Chains A and B, each alone.
Chain A
Amino acid sequence: MTGTDHASRAGGRVVIVGASLAGLRAAEALRAEGFTGTLTLVGDEPYEPYDRPPLSKQVLLGRADANSTMLPRAAALEAEWRLGVPADALDLTAKQVRLASGEQVPFDRLLIATGTRARPWPNAAEAALDGVLVLRTSDDTAALRRELAAGPRRVLVVGAGFTGSEIASACRELRLPVTVVERAATPLAGALGAVVGSVAIQLHREHGVDLRCGVSVTALEGDSSGHLRRAYLDDGTTLDVDVAVVALGSLRNTEWLRGSGLGAGPRGVACDAGCRVFDMYGIVTDDVFAAGDVARYPHPVFGFEFLALEHWSNAVEQAQVAAHNMVSSQSERRPYLHVPTFWSFQFGVGIKSVGVPSYGEEVIVTQGSADERRFVALYGHQGRTVGAVTFDQGKWLDFYRRQIEMAAPFPPAYRNVDRPASRRPVPAEFPDPAVPTEGPRIERTGHSPAEWAWALVPARA
């Protein structure tokens, strides 16, 4: 195939690295667009594409098996599957992907959809103890399910983001004692801010979770047989626990792109709004695309800030745009303008969001009542609406999505049903990203190299 017909629907070789939700949906979309060339999907897990959201919910509760969440497919893909072997290098000059087995897979167009993995416990020896787990894959879930079924004395959940909170919720439903340790002031503070997070505090406590906010786990300790027995916290307390689930967010799978010349790193794979990946000089490539959790792209609604979203709908929608653009000429290409949405079910409450709440600084409850755990909260940035979150009020999200798309004024001027008495925005209290999350650090000061100085910033007390 020559350089001039790279956008052909008829032929050529497409390789998709990453065989989860984004990879599968892109493959389906390529075929639906009329792509008839060869299609290869590379996945590091030995399973066909499966859905992850049920893992921390119905699977942990034992209502579905960890290996039962295989994703339904729209049509026959006629794809070649390379499962159970990760890609470990990319050669853009030779246009081939090297697998960990040493095999080279040549491509004309490439889609990078390698997603993220769970951030492990930082101390490797402690992370290796029996009973210390993470939750990302179906194998992780099967292992955690076995630990929970064994009836641990107490489960420790490290981190109260969405995953950590859902795990705590499942543990309580299984009537297991659970302690959640969260460094921020409230659960979900990074995604929703501490004002809405304080509602989550009530949810945890009402359901019998021993929630400790503003506290860090400093060490995990095992017995002589290498099984976790104790956790040490930085407020001086110790906890007797048999299971610890580390829910400290995720790391993007970009290591395999090191040395490839692409603009890829710990924050993701940078691409344009058409999913075309930037090289390390910021020049857009023409035949390498990215989609899903691993992709960082500029969003016009949020000041063209580069967003890397670990949301289910982002994987689905972005994969479809990437696939379309992979088989389209320049003039037919589409921008990816999807307004982010996500959901979390915990403690019997449906939490849903649209837009990017953390892009805002202020929050206002526009409908319902936080005391009843049934409300809509709206987030504002410089006088316009940028995000909304609902607790058991998902039916309103579509309305607020349109407000965000239209950059509607904040605080909102419209009248609506179920308005609370107070209509004043308050600071949303997102954690300061400049505050270190770990120990002491060295900070550089001064603008020009001649003014540089280095200062030690001690660990937070």
Chain B
Amino acid sequence: MRTVRIVVDLNRCQGYGQCVFLAPGVFELHGEEALMYDPGPDEVQCLPVLRAAAACPVQAIQVQKVDQE
């Protein structure tokens, strides 16, 4: 099974919210700038998450695809 690992540098994040539009099942704004995210979503989220990471204006999102038994 494949999963995705995500970590966001929340010092860098400024709440532009691009990730929330591109991967709404994974990223969510809690208030104006408190970003909450699922750090280990299912494989189906892989493409939206990669798009979100690429679109982040401050490049705060790190993603890795992982193969698991």
Decide: B33 and A394 in contact? CB cutoff 8 A. Answer: yes
Decide: B64 and A350 in contact? CB cutoff 8 A. Answer: no
Decide: A68 and B32 in contact? CB cutoff 8 A. Answer: no
Contacts of A392 in B (CB 8 A): 31-33
Decide: A51 and B36 in contact? CB cutoff 8 A. Answer: no
Contacts of B5 in A (CB 8 A): 70-73
Pick from A58-66, A122-130, A225-233 the stretch touching chain B.
Answer: A58-66
Is A459 among interface residues, defined by CB-CB distance under 8 A?
no
Is B46 among interface residues, defined by CB-CB distance under 8 A?
no
Contacts of B48 in A (CB 8 A): none
Is A256 among interface residues, defined by CB-CB distance under 8 A?
no
Decide: A64 and B38 in contact? CB cutoff 8 A. Answer: yes
Q: How far is the CA of A71 from the CA of B15 in the complex (A)?
A: 21
Contacts of B36 in A (CB 8 A): 57-58, 61, 63, 345
Decide: A343 and B10 in contact? CB cutoff 8 A. Answer: yes
- Scoring B5, B34, B35 by chain A CB atoms within 10 A of each residue's CB, the highest score goes to B34
Q: Which 3 A-B pairs have the closest CB atoms?
A: A72-B64, A68-B40, A348-B31
B4-23 near A? 1/0 per residue, CB < 8 Å: 01110111011100000000
Contacts of A312 in B (CB 8 A): 9-11
Please report the number of residue pairs spanning A and B whose Cβ atoms sit closer than 8 angstroms. 76
Decide: B11 and A54 in contact? CB cutoff 8 A. Answer: no
Contacts of A349 in B (CB 8 A): 31-32, 34
Interchain CB contact (< 8 A) of A73 among B33, B35, B64 = B64
Contacts of A397 in B (CB 8 A): 11
A36-56 near B? 1/0 per residue, CB < 8 Å: 000000000000000101100
Is B63 among interface residues, defined by CB-CB distance under 8 A?
yes
* A352-B11 contact, Cβ under 8 Å, with A70-B5, A73-B64: yes
Q: Which of B24-69 contact A (CB under 8 A)?
A: 30-40, 62-64, 66
Q: How far is the CA of A311 from the CA of B14 in the complex (A)?
A: 18
Interchain CB contact (< 8 A) of B31 among A51, A74, A350 = A350
- Size of interface on B: residues with Cβ below 8 Å to A: 24
Decide: B6 and A345 in contact? CB cutoff 8 A. Answer: no
- Scoring A51, A313, A394 by chain B CB atoms within 10 A of each residue's CB, the highest score goes to A394
Q: How far is the CA of A61 from the CA of B30 in the complex (A)?
A: 12
Interchain CB contact (< 8 A) of A54 among B30, B33, B39 = B39
Interchain CB contact (< 8 A) of B40 among A53, A65, A313 = A65
Is A69 among interface residues, defined by CB-CB distance under 8 A?
yes
Decide: B40 and A350 in contact? CB cutoff 8 A. Answer: no
Q: How far is the CA of A69 from the CA of B3 in the complex (A)?
A: 12
**What range describes how many residues of A lie at the interface?**
20 to 34
Q: Which of A315-354 contact B (CB under 8 A)?
A: 316, 341-343, 345, 348-350, 352
In the complex, 10 of the A-B residue pairs with CB atoms within 8 angstroms, ordered by the A residue number, are A51-B7, A51-B39, A54-B37, A58-B37, A63-B38, A70-B5, A72-B5, A343-B11, A394-B33, A395-B14
* A394-B31 contact, Cβ under 8 Å, with A64-B38, A68-B39, A68-B40: no
Whole-angstrom distance from the CB of B51 to the nearest CB of chain A? 16
Decide: A350 and B38 in contact? CB cutoff 8 A. Answer: no
Closest residue on chain B to residue A374 by CB atoms: B32
Contacts of B15 in A (CB 8 A): 350, 394-395
Closest residue on chain A to residue B5 by CB atoms: A72
Decide: B7 and A71 in contact? CB cutoff 8 A. Answer: yes
Q: How far is the CA of A71 from the CA of B64 in the complex (A)?
A: 9
Decide: A72 and B11 in contact? CB cutoff 8 A. Answer: no
Q: How far is the CA of A63 from the CA of B35 in the complex (A)?
A: 13
Contacts of A69 in B (CB 8 A): 39-40
Contacts of A350 in B (CB 8 A): 15, 31-34
Contacts of A395 in B (CB 8 A): 14-15
Q: How far is the CA of A58 from the CA of B34 in the complex (A)?
A: 11
Closest residue on chain A to residue B14 by CB atoms: A395
Interchain CB contact (< 8 A) of A348 among B13, B14, B34, B40 = B34
Known: A51-B7, A58-B38, A349-B34. 15 other contacts (CB 8 A): A54-B39, A61-B36, A63-B36, A68-B38, A68-B39, A69-B40, A72-B5, A72-B62, A312-B9, A312-B10, A313-B11, A345-B34, A345-B35, A345-B36, A394-B33
Q: How far is the CA of A24 from the CA of B13 in the complex (A)?
A: 22
Contacts of A316 in B (CB 8 A): 9
Contacts of B40 in A (CB 8 A): 64-65, 68-70
Closest residue on chain B to residue A70 by CB atoms: B5
- Scoring B11, B13, B36, B64 by chain A CB atoms within 10 A of each residue's CB, the highest score goes to B11
Closest residue on chain A to residue B31 by CB atoms: A348
Decide: B39 and A64 in contact? CB cutoff 8 A. Answer: yes
Q: Which of A97-148 contact B (CB under 8 A)?
A: none
A180-205 near B? 1/0 per residue, CB < 8 Å: 00000000000000000000000000
